[in-house]
Chain A
Amino acid sequence: MIKVRLRYAKGDEIKYISHLDTLKLFERASRRCGLPVAYTEGFNPRPRFVFGNPLPVGVTSECEFVDIYFDKDMDPDKVVSDLNSVMPKGLRVLAGKVLSEDADNIMNVVSRSEYVVKVDMPEEDARKVIDVYEENSPLVIVKKSKNKEREMDIRPMVHNLTFKDAAFSIVTDAGNTSNLRPEVAIKALCGQVGVEVKITGIHRTKLF
């Protein structure tokens, strides 16, 4: 058994497709191009895919990951080209590499994510946001769960913030243990500064 780790991009055309539906999309695309994906054992065999962190609906990305398991050796470049021949517009598989079966799960190797967040706000305001960020003081948001609200300092979950060409570049926690959506951080910072912000697009650029 080997696994092939694929990196793929999700463009504007399919940014509203949820994580679960993206999973289904990969399963069906694999069948369309006859990819010999390994199946799980048991009563209801499922193709063996392991996906990375869910990408929020509405966000585009150039660094999504999926591990696909195969029973036999596969040429990763062919996996990439086969899949691309049956993918809808907006989904591009960018690269593939073979990993050993016991290589760490994609979910476990990722802890942070970088995004570009396009905004509609005066540059002056954006500079203020950066300044506040650099002060490194607590950034408290109210998190609502089922029936309770609790306060939470999200500043430790934000690792980098810059501003250029009407867009923030931001690095936040991403993964199983700690996860923060970039727009939550930016809105909280703008709140702290007391400026309005309109987010016009979010794009994930890196996972690490």
Chain B
Amino acid sequence: MTYIKDEILAQVEKPARYTGGEWNSVVKDKNAVDIRFAFCFADVYDIGMSHLGYKLIYHLLNDREDTWCERVLAPWPDLEEKMRENNLSLFGLESQEPINDFDFIGFTLQYEMSYTNVVNMLDLAGVPVFSTDRKEGDPFVIAGGPSANNTEVLADFVDIFSLGEGEEMLNDLMDLYKEWKKSKGNRFEFLKKAARIDGIYVPCFYEVEYNEDGTVKAHKVKEEYKDYAKEKVVKRVVKDFESAYFPGKLVVPYVNVVHDRIMIEIFRGCTRGCRFCQAGFIYRPVRERSVEKITEIANKLVESTGYEEVSLLSLSTSDYSNLGLLCDELLANIEDKKVNLGVPSLRVDSFSLGLMEKVSRVRKSGLTFAPEAGTQRLRDVINKGITEEDILKSSEIAFRGGWNNIKLYFMLGLPTETDEDILGIADLAHKILEIYKKVHEGKRARKPEITVSVSTFVPKPFTPFQWCGQISKEEIIRRQNLLKKALNRKIKFSWHDPETSIIEAALSRGDRRVGRVIYNVWRQGGRFDAWEEYMNYDRWICAFKEEGLDIEFYTERERDIDEVLPWDHVSVGVTKKFLKKELEKAKKGETTPNCMEKCTGCGAALYEGGICVDKS
């Protein structure tokens, strides 16, 4: 029986999002488990079910006999409306039961714009949204994922943060919980013990003092909790990635989701160190899986899911040490089962084009490049190890190989950007257009489709640009217009909504006080802010004002290099000292070699894993 009755399901879009029962979903006897875990993704089913990490942790927890982990996705507003009308509460897809008496409600935080949904889901679940209001018997609210690394913005709502990679940490936490539950201890005792686990941060044990100018004066452990809470919480990593948990099966959704295929992580982390990129720093050290292991996983998953495509997942596929061999091996294993291989986020060179021919006979539709900046000067500032020559050469190779569709990604508002850099984007696009003409000179050819797509730079914690200010809304619009005017009409231009980037910036580098703003926005009806049709900029601006906070303090202000940052109590391995050095080098336009060429001492070597060990 479904928790939401037919009468309502018949009235909402895609009812199969809510009915569960998918192949490989895990149903257990609730009386035979010790722990019930509601694993929430603060977005709609189609997005959450596209996320490998979400499925991975789901199966990891369910592989424990003592735990039943269920998926809980945010109901789309059409269903939420009906749920509230009919007093229905948030439920687990597997049991089709409300989650308010589960042991844990866990969130994976993938992007900041989903924070209003986090609050909304807690409320829909019938669980007090503020951590301080939860009583004995209420579930523990736990959060992890990349956005959790700046813990403070959601500190008021979350009981326990798990920082870094969850594979081992969650098992430690579940073991501890089971023991605690047996001992019939109180809530506080569990939190105390949990805080001792590496990578676990319990925000209520800490207090924040502010300076008169609003900056953080100190973030410290409250005197009475000194015995269990750590001053500095160091993120967890799985040292041995080769043997790291990977499920032998994955839930196969019925309805179309964004990424509906087998995804296999071929390595974790990125060697490159582009200075704007948070993922490039927080997932260090770089750790690879072997060709044999990946092939083994692929074979197992093809059999258990029946999917028609295997896709390789990483931050930069071309950096895998033996990509040619990997693809050959995989193809040899899956091709006769009529399974396709997808190899996304490749750097374009003759090798990768050959590879693309081999792996996908269909898609000649689009190639993407991410130069990120229009001039060499600025690309050096951001340490994007790519030259104009690389880009032009790659375009020529692609055009000669029959591609006519190229999409170029750039960011506007990067630190030190001038109008010259912006016009450089247009120049680069025009040069690519010229190359297309040259390649097809005198021949009949399809029209080239060149797209320039610009987003707005959002400074992120744990990057060398974490101290930099974001440009104002007016300035974003001026720069977008400048570029629009400079571009040849034959080039398609697309841009991100500046308002979303501004809110994202405020949430990304917010402190504990920003939680009040999120609560305020949610109270005013804010949810699904990652969706342009639901994001309401004025509501956010108004909420900042009402809470007595200045949004520009978080977005546009350049932070003093010695300022206490709201996330200084978290270590992701990469040290603040290294990030400072990188910022200095950025200002001078100096580049830093990638981990493959030379170790630059970022700090991730403390984990004694992956490339940090292999290279030395």
Inter-chain CA distance A39–B308, complex, in Å, is 13
Inter-chain CA distance A43–B363, complex, in Å, is 11
Chain B residues, CB < 8 A from A13: 19, 21
Whether a CB of chain B sits under 8 angstroms from the CB of A76 is no
Chain B residues, CB < 8 A from A32: 23, 303-306
CB distance from A86 to the nearest CB of B (A): 7
With A14-B21, A43-B361, A88-B21 already in contact, the answer to whether A27 and B16 are too (CB < 8 A) is no
Q: A200, B252: Cβ atoms under 8 Å?
A: no
Chain A residues, CB < 8 A from B306: 27-32, 86
Partner of B16, one of A17, A43, A45, A86: A17
Inter-chain CA distance A45–B304, complex, in Å, is 22
Q: Which of A31, A43, A89 has the most CB of B within 10 A?
A: A31
Inter-chain CA distance A47–B339, complex, in Å, is 11
With A21-B254, A200-B6 already in contact, the answer to whether A31 and B22 are too (CB < 8 A) is no
Q: A201, B19: Cβ atoms under 8 Å?
A: no
With A16-B16, A31-B337, A32-B304 already in contact, the answer to whether A21 and B361 are too (CB < 8 A) is no
Total CB contacts across the A-B interface at under 8 A: 66
Q: A43, B362: Cβ atoms under 8 Å?
A: yes
Inter-chain CA distance A45–B10, complex, in Å, is 35
Chain B residues, CB < 8 A from A14: 16, 19, 21, 254
Inter-chain CA distance A174–B252, complex, in Å, is 31
Q: A25, B6: Cβ atoms under 8 Å?
A: no
Q: B6, A17: Cβ atoms under 8 Å?
A: no
Q: B361, A28: Cβ atoms under 8 Å?
A: no
Interface residues of A in 1-49 (CB under 8 A from B): 13-14, 16-18, 21, 24-25, 27-32, 39, 43-45, 47
CB distance from B444 to the nearest CB of A (A): 22
Inter-chain CA distance A25–B19, complex, in Å, is 16
Chain B residues, CB < 8 A from A25: 254
CB distance from A134 to the nearest CB of B (A): 30
Whether a CB of chain A sits under 8 angstroms from the CB of B255 is yes
Q: A45, B338: Cβ atoms under 8 Å?
A: yes
Size bracket, chain B contacts = 20 to 34
Q: A27, B303: Cβ atoms under 8 Å?
A: no
Inter-chain CA distance A119–B458, complex, in Å, is 56
Whether a CB of chain B sits under 8 angstroms from the CB of A194 is no
Q: A90, B252: Cβ atoms under 8 Å?
A: no
Partner of A89, one of B21, B252, B302: B21
| 0/1 interface trace, chain B 291-311, chain A, CB 8 Å (1 if under) | 000000000001111111000
Size bracket, chain A contacts = 20 to 34
CB distance from A77 to the nearest CB of B (A): 21
Whether a CB of chain A sits under 8 angstroms from the CB of B423 is no
Q: A28, B19: Cβ atoms under 8 Å?
A: no
Partner of A16, one of B9, B252, B302: B9
CB distance from A2 to the nearest CB of B (A): 19
Q: A21, B256: Cβ atoms under 8 Å?
A: yes
Whether a CB of chain A sits under 8 angstroms from the CB of B15 is yes
Chain A residues, CB < 8 A from B256: 21
Partner of A28, one of B10, B15, B21, B252: B252
Q: B305, A28: Cβ atoms under 8 Å?
A: yes
Chain A residues, CB < 8 A from B19: 13-14, 16
Chain A residues, CB < 8 A from B9: 16, 58
Inter-chain CA distance A17–B306, complex, in Å, is 18
Chain A residues, CB < 8 A from B254: 14, 17, 21, 24-25, 88
Q: Which of A14, A39, A201 has the most CB of B within 10 A?
A: A14
Q: Which residue of A lies closest to B253 (CB)?
A: A21
Inter-chain CA distance A30–B302, complex, in Å, is 11
Chain B residues, CB < 8 A from A201: 6
With A21-B256, A31-B308 already in contact, the answer to whether A47 and B338 are too (CB < 8 A) is yes
Inter-chain CA distance A55–B10, complex, in Å, is 15
CB distance from A9 to the nearest CB of B (A): 15
CB distance from A164 to the nearest CB of B (A): 22
| 0/1 interface trace, chain B 223-264, chain A, CB 8 Å (1 if under) | 000000000000000000000000000001011100000000
- Chain A residues proximal to chain B, CB less than 8 Å: 13-14, 16-18, 21, 24-25, 27-32, 39, 43-45, 47, 57-58, 86, 88-90, 200-201
List 5 A-B pairs, minimum CB-CB distance, nearest first.
A28-B306, A32-B306, A31-B306, A16-B15, A16-B16
- Chain B residues proximal to chain A, CB less than 8 Å: 6, 9-10, 15-16, 19, 21-23, 252, 254-256, 302-308, 337-339, 361-362
6 of the cross-chain contacts (CB-CB < 8 Å) are A14-B21, A31-B302, A31-B308, A31-B337, A45-B338, A47-B338
